[in-house]
Structure 1
Amino acid sequence: MVDKSIENFECGHRACGGCGAATAVRMILKGAGEDVIVVSPTGCLEVFTTPYPETAWKVPWIHSLFENAAAVASGIEASLKRQGRSEKVLVIGGDGATVDIGMLCLSGAFERNHDITYICYDNEAYMNTGIQRSGATPFDASTSTSPAGSCSMGNKHAKKDVPAILAAHGSPYVATASLSYPTDLMKKVETAVNTPGATYIQIHAPCCTGWGFEGDQTVAVGKLAIETGLWVNYEMVDGVLRKAKKVKRKPVEEYLSVQKRFRHLFKPKRNEEEIAKIQAIADANAAKFGIDI
């Protein structure tokens, strides 16, 4: 059992007020414990935690390229094993570096089953470079590269299911979490780093700047994602669903209406057809994971 009172993520970094990624990383390091080496690819997290000569990291931290964090972590793990050392290797990367640019290296690391834990803080777009669409951007969300307008309702692609992809690689432990449920998040991180082999957690990390809500609402927005069924907290062991958080679901519009990235669904008039499509996504999640109370 790790001591969760220890703070290995220093305050005073340069994240936006209410940053979901910063909140998630503080919890991740509490769950992982002190005996850990962190690899982070290029992205928001790298930029706001390590402006030279400053650092917010109180554990060993290595910056990789955007695309190769899993490969760098694989090399570190192999070196530690050769030296007979016991440190855990942890990757913390955004959705762009995970589900898009880094997918090749991520797949390779999981195919080889390196003893690493890869954690994606999922803020559902390339926030650091201008809020461009990523493979994790939800359906109908407006981004700078999938803008809503007279000819478009925003992103027309489904969110890439990376947990399922990595479970199919044979990962012994795959989970999803939300910063809005910190005890669950920290427990899953502790489980992942202590499970031999390549493990994966995807954490829903609302971005007040990119999504368009006030910074003091980050936890509330994260809870609405869970309560509507548009994000499901679950864990899989050896490819089998072990449990999923059950909820008394709310209509998806309660989540959509508090974010500017979905405002085109309500203004200048309410778009019932598109809202119904998103409700269908939530309903499909509920049926798949059995989350309804």
Structure 2
Amino acid sequence: MVKLTIPEIELMSPGHTGCQGCGATIAMRYALKALGEKTIVSIPACCWAVMPGVWPNNCMRVPLLYTAFETTGASISGIKAALRALGEEDVTVMGWAGDGGTADIGMQALSAAAERNEDVIYVMYDNEAYMNTGIQRSGATPLGAWTTTTPVGKTKFWERRPKKPMVDIVAAHKVPYAATLSIGYPEDFVKKMKKAKEISGFRFLHIYSPCPTGWKSPPQYTPKLAKLAVTSRAFPLYEVEEGIYRVTMKPKKTPLKEYLMLQGRFRHLTDEDMKELERDIERRWKELLLKEEMTAKLEELNE
């Protein structure tokens, strides 16, 4: 019998206001299990800004700071500086922002915090659009997806640009640790969260969080989609530690179509469109494996 390594502690109470099947609520629950009670969370404008509940109700058992959309990188830097001045170095500071508030609106503050190597954890929970404001396209919206600002019609207005490679972008700042996580793989998720907690300096975690409302997917399929994204290679699980790439999961590949067709946002795609997406995904997968191979060789040379 396999022993699970997920902590039993619960720092989220029942009663959040998220949609049924919300992947971001599962992500927060796992994150707090890994980080523990001595954690302060900073949340900008996003779905999670309303999900804890309306005062005096609150489903969270850790302190929260609500900030402006673009300020997560700055706010967590300030919180950490204040804790340092108070001599409370053992408190973990985590920024928790969506893909819009990270890959687009919050990019400047994120980059600045990473450049300064602030001793904080920055989480981008990625539901691949601005879900709180109406399912508008973000820089993390995948190639081929429908959103309200990339509609489907006789002309292909749906998303024509690939996702921003946020882990690669942040890793280029020479930070100690950056990684991708999926709620479909709790063991890998918690392991990376715990690892990030023990590392000093700036740590960036990109969490794949399915959104039934924006993706037009059945709520009960959220965990399944989070797994299929990984096995289809649409969202590979890897980490970059001190510049060294390592793919943390290389599962047997599943058909991309199986992943796409569970989501209404992709149902307009033809077989030829899916082949185009498959080619892009395979190219990025091979590129990732090459980065893993090349950085491993560099590590050997530096030893």
TM above 0.5, one fold? yes
Partners in 2 of 1:113 and 1:103 — Cα distance? 15
Call closer, same or farther: CA 1:60–1:3 in 2, change over 3 Å. farther
The residue number in structure 2 matching 1:92 is: 96
Partners in 2 of 1:5 and 1:77 — Cα distance? 27
Aligned with 1:49: secondary structure?
Answer: coil
Call closer, same or farther: CA 1:254–1:3 in 2, change over 3 Å. closer
Give the counterpart letter for 2:201 in structure 1. Answer: G
- 1:279 and 2:278 aligned: yes
1:76–1:89 contact (8 Å) kept in structure 2? yes
The alpha-carbon deviation at position 128 of structure 1 amounts to: 0.6
Aligned with 1:120: secondary structure?
Answer: strand
Give CA deviations for 1:19-62 in whole Å, capped at 9, x if unaligned. 00001100010111111111011110111113222211101110
The alpha-carbon deviation at position 286 of structure 1 amounts to: 2.5
2:6–2:187 contact (8 Å) kept in structure 1? no
Aligned with 2:184: secondary structure?
Answer: coil
Give CA deviations for 1:178-207 in whole Å, capped at 9, x if unaligned. 000011111111111221000000000000
Matches within 5 A, 1:171-182: 171-182=175-186
The residue number in structure 2 matching 1:268 is: none
Give the counterpart letter for 2:183 in structure 1. Answer: L
Call closer, same or farther: CA 1:219–1:3 in 2, change over 3 Å. closer
Give CA deviations for 1:127-173 in whole Å, capped at 9, x if unaligned. 01110000000001000000111111510111011111110101101
- 1:9 and 2:12 aligned: yes
* Percent of aligned pairs with the same amino acid: 41
CA RMSD of aligned residues (A): 1.4
The alpha-carbon deviation at position 3 of structure 1 amounts to: 8.1
1:124 to 122, 128, 143: 128
Aligned with 1:109: secondary structure?
Answer: helix
2:182–2:208 contact (8 Å) kept in structure 1? yes
Give the counterpart letter for 1:137 in structure 2. Answer: T
Matches within 5 A, 1:215-234: 215-234=219-238
Give the counterpart letter for 1:101 in structure 2. Answer: I
The alpha-carbon deviation at position 248 of structure 1 amounts to: 1.2
1:119–1:200 contact (8 Å) kept in structure 2? yes
1:252–1:282 contact (8 Å) kept in structure 2? no
- Structure 1 alignment gaps of length 5 or more: 266-270
The alpha-carbon deviation at position 82 of structure 1 amounts to: 1.7
Aligned with 1:149: secondary structure?
Answer: coil
Question: Which range moves more in the overlay, 245-254 or 17-26?
Answer: 245-254
Partners in 2 of 1:240 and 1:210 — Cα distance? 34
Question: Which range moves more in the overlay, 237-246 or 18-27?
Answer: 237-246
2:6–2:190 contact (8 Å) kept in structure 1? no
Partners in 2 of 1:169 and 1:286 — Cα distance? 22
Partners in 1 of 2:28 and 2:287 — Cα distance? 29
- 1:193 and 2:197 aligned: yes
Matches within 5 A, 1:49-60: 49-60=52-63
1:153–1:264 contact (8 Å) kept in structure 2? no
Give the counterpart letter for 1:273 in structure 2. Answer: E
The residue number in structure 2 matching 1:83 is: 86
The residue number in structure 1 matching 2:45 is: 42
The alpha-carbon deviation at position 63 of structure 1 amounts to: 0.5
1:115 to 119, 129, 141: 119
Partners in 1 of 2:87 and 2:117 — Cα distance? 18
The residue number in structure 1 matching 2:299 is: none
Give the counterpart letter for 1:258 in structure 2. Answer: L
The residue number in structure 1 matching 2:242 is: 238
2:6–2:186 contact (8 Å) kept in structure 1? no
The alpha-carbon deviation at position 247 of structure 1 amounts to: 1.4
Give the counterpart letter for 2:16 in structure 1. Answer: H
The residue number in structure 1 matching 2:27 is: 24
